[in-house]
């Protein structure tokens, strides 16, 4: 969407606070020995407190309030009583929701407890790449140029990017135009960011894989060559200068 009034801006701020605070609280709540189902139920209660509705459930009838992806799962991880969080797990929580007709999206990966699998550098790289990319976005900047920032940042850090997952427009629905804010430079994409547009910018930084593929026909996506993938995401409003980071309260950069 393109924000054209104070009412629309206030609506986006409210829903972005709901998803941002929910993400922050879910990260703090996650503990070794907890199931991803329990963590998701906690997230659902938080969204309910804000009066917000789970976007994946409302849009796709996803079997959970949030997406919780653990270790080899790249994205769209389904909450389960059978998945028990362990020391050193790479956990990604993706929270998106609708509130009063406005939609917002954010996510973040983190290492649970002690970093016994040495994955913190991957997490840190993803955070930095998202920071660098977002801070280059303003009206008139080519979408493909931001993809180049992500891809080159990953390569410099010794990692790869997932090429078939992308950021997207958001605001009046969960996924809007522009639909392909990719993690690499797509030379065929001549589209530019527009002032006042609302977009969800997200990284998919990988150790081994370049593509996400379905796992046994379920929601869960895994890497085509295995390994680990980190994702970090903010919903922002594009301006003439530095973007307004609507989900800043999630504190994924802290």
Q: For helices 120-134 and 143-156, give the axis angle rounded to 10 degrees.
A: 150
Q: Which candidate, 201, 101, 113, places its Cα nearest to that of 149? A: 201
φ/ψ region of 195 (left if φ > 0, alpha if ψ in -120 to 50, else beta) reads beta
- Residue 162 dihedral angles phi and psi, to the nearest 5°: -80, 125
pLDDT at 218 over 80: no
Is the predicted pLDDT of residue 216 greater than 90, yes or no?
no
Convert the pLDDT of each residue in 88-146 to its tens digit: 999 999 999 999 999 999 999 999 999 999 999 999 999 999 999 999 999 999 999 99
Q: What DSSP state is assigned to residue 114?
A: S
> How far is the C-alpha of 168 from the C-alpha of 180, rounded, in Å?
6
Entry pTM: 0.97
Task: For residues 149 and 7, give the distance between their C-alpha atoms in angstroms, rounded to a whole number.
Answer: 33
Task: Look at residue 217 in the predicted model and tell me its pLDDT.
Answer: 67
Per-residue pLDDT at 215? 87
């Amino acid at each position: 969407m393109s924000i054209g009034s104070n009412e629309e801006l206030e609506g986006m701020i409210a829903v972005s606070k709901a998803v941002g605070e929910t993400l922050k609280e879910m990260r703090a709540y996650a503990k070794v020995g907890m199931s991803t189902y329990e963590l998701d139920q906690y997230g659902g209660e938080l969204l309910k407190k804000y009066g917000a509705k789970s976007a994946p459930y409302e849009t796709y009838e996803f079997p959970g309030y949030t997406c919780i992806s653990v270790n080899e799962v790249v994205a769209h991880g389904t909450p389960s009583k059978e998945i028990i969080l362990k020391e050193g797990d790479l956990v990604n929580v993706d929270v998106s929701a609708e509130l009063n007709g406005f939609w917002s999206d954010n996510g973040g990966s983190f290492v649970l407890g002690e970093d016994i699998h040495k994955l913190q550098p991957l997490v840190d790289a993803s955070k930095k790449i998202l920071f660098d990319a977002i801070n280059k976005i303003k009206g008139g900047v080519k979408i493909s140029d931001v993809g180049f920032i992500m891809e080159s940042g990953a390569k410099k850090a010794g990692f790869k990017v997932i090429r078939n997952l992308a950021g997207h427009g958001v605001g009046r629905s969960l996924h809007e135009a522009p639909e392909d804010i990719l993690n690499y430079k797509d030379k065929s994409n001549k589209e530019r960011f527009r002032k006042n547009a609302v977009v969800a910018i997200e990284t998919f930084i990988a150790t081994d894989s370049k593509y996400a593929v379905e796992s046994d026909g379920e929601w869960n996506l895994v890497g085509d060559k295995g390994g680990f993938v980190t994702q970090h995401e903010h919903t922002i409003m594009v301006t003439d200068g530095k973007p307004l980071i609507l989900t800043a309260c999630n504190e994924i950069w802290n």
